[in-house]
């Protein structure tokens, strides 16, 4: 079954039930408090590399909407360089692409390795959802690869990264098969691979059925027995139900078919041996994505024989990974997946 068609067909029968559903966008980027990684350019006399910016580049057009990315490129590169593609967080409903390289999470790591950095947007909330936002991210990869000469990058050395919702999407970009049913390439991107060399994903929801079950009920029944659904409430911990209803276009995981759909839209449904290398990070005390979702995915991938590395930030919240030894873990991962010169 074509997944996008299947979802839209389902909502035609159920959409009216949710017309009063309020969806309060929480800018999760405000909750992901960026930790400044070790910054070579402040702690030593090493000069900071010069980067140039190309902003508001349209990478595809869907349903009449232009989707854009921003590119931050090393100015002095003489040979094609590896690339890192950042996918922002925000409950799949807020946030936006970085407008400066310093606003891309992990930029210090990427700049000191002279990586080209791309930050992309995708369709949000009701206009996006699943699998639409997954399709958008994969088409951004296709566009970047197709334009490798323009950006002076190596099309065979592209990693992806993201936190929270962006962590989920970066894992999906890396883990789904090339023929994943998300609607496919937009015109002009046909025949271009959406594959990546690796994924560095942090604080990601990895199992949507589990994420749903961790959240409180959102059903409201009035005195006449009429059932409605409340909108998201930032004061309620793990308030996943109203958000997932919107992102799945009104569907809840209340039947086996719907549970299968939820699984297909998250990393736990794509565990196999032949995924590209993955670095997955949790915060031990994450108040937004509870219960170490990354660890559960890591254990399944490890059992399948996949190339996967795991990091848990001790006492960590919903934020960029940290802790003694993490900088080396990430740097080693970049060296290996992007085939960098370890001596630099």
Q: Taking 80 as the threshold, does the pLDDT of residue 10 lie above it?
A: no
243: tokens are 């958000």
Residues 113-148 have pLDDT tens digits of 999 999 999 999 999 999 999 999 999 999 999 999
- CATH number (domain holding residue 163): 3.40.50.1820
Least confident piece of the model among 1-10, 81-90, 137-146: 1-10
281 within a domain of the structure (yes/no): yes
* Domain assignment present for 55: yes
Q: Is the pLDDT of residue 44 over 70?
A: no
Q: 329: burial class by Cβ within 10 Å (0-12, 13-18, 19+)?
A: middle
pLDDT of residue 53: 97
Half-sphere exposure of 327 (CA within 13 A, CB side): 12
Q: Is residue 260 in some structural domain?
A: yes
Cα gap 63→126, rounded to integer Å: 13
| pLDDT score at 46 | 63
| Residue 41 counted as domain residue | yes
Q: Judge whether 135 lies within some domain.
A: yes
Print the domain residue range for 85.
3-337
CA distances from 46 to 7, 41, 42, 43 (A): 52, 6, 8, 8
In the DSSP assignment, the letter for residue 48 is P
| Distance of alpha carbon 103 from alpha carbon 100, whole angstroms | 5
CB 118 within 8 A of CB 190: no
CA distances from 318 to 96, 310, 314 (A): 18, 16, 12
What is the pLDDT confidence band of residue 49, given thresholds at 50, 70 and 90? Answer: confident
Residue 287 lies in a domain: yes
Residue 322 domain-assigned (yes or no): yes
Residue 344 lies in a domain: no
- How crowded is residue 105: how many other Cβ atoms within 10 Å of its Cβ? 28
Query: Are the C-beta atoms of 331 and 337 separated by less than 8 Å?
Result: no
Domain count of the chain?
1
């Amino acid at each position: 079954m074509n997944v996008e068609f299947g979802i839209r067909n389902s909502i035609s029968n159920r959409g009216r039930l949710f017309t009063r559903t309020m969806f309060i966008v929480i800018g999760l980027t405000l909750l992901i408090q960026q930790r400044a990684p070790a910054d070579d350019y402040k702690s030593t006399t090493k000069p900071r590399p010069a980067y140039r910016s190309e902003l508001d580049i349209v990478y595809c057009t869907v349903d009449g909407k232009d989707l854009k990315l921003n590119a931050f490129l090393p100015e002095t590169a003489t040979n094609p360089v590896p690339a890192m593609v950042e996918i922002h967080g925000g409950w799949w409903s807020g946030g936006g692409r970085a407008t400066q390289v310093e606003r891309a999470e992990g930029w210090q790591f990427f700049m000191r390795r002279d990586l080209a950095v791309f930050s992309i947007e995708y369709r949000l909330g009701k206009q996006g959802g699943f699998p639409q936002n997954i399709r958008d991210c994969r088409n951004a990869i296709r566009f970047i690869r197709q334009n490798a000469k323009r950006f002076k990058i190596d099309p065979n050395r592209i990693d992806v990264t993201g936190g929270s919702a962006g962590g989920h999407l970066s894992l999906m970009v890396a883990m789904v098969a090339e023929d994943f049913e998300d609607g496919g390439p937009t015109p002009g991107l046909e025949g271009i691979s959406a594959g990546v060399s690796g994924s560095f994903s942090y604080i990601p929801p990895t199992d949507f059925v589990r994420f749903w079950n961790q959240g409180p009920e959102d059903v409201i029944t009035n005195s006449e027995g009429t059932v409605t659904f409340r909108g998201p409430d930032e004061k309620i911990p793990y308030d996943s139900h109203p958000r997932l209803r919107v992102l799945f276009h009104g569907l809840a995981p209340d039947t086996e078919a719907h549970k299968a759909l939820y699984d297909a839209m998250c990393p736990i449904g794509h565990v196999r041996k032949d995924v590209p290398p993955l670095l997955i990070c949790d915060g031990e005390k994450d108040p937004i994505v509870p219960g170490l979702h990354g660890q559960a995915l890591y254990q399944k991938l490890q059992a399948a024989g996949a190339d996967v590395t795991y990091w848990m930030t001790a006492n960590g919240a919903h934020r960029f990974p940290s802790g003694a030894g993490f900088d080396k873990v990430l740097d080693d991962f970049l060296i290996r997946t992007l085939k960098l010169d370890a001596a630099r």
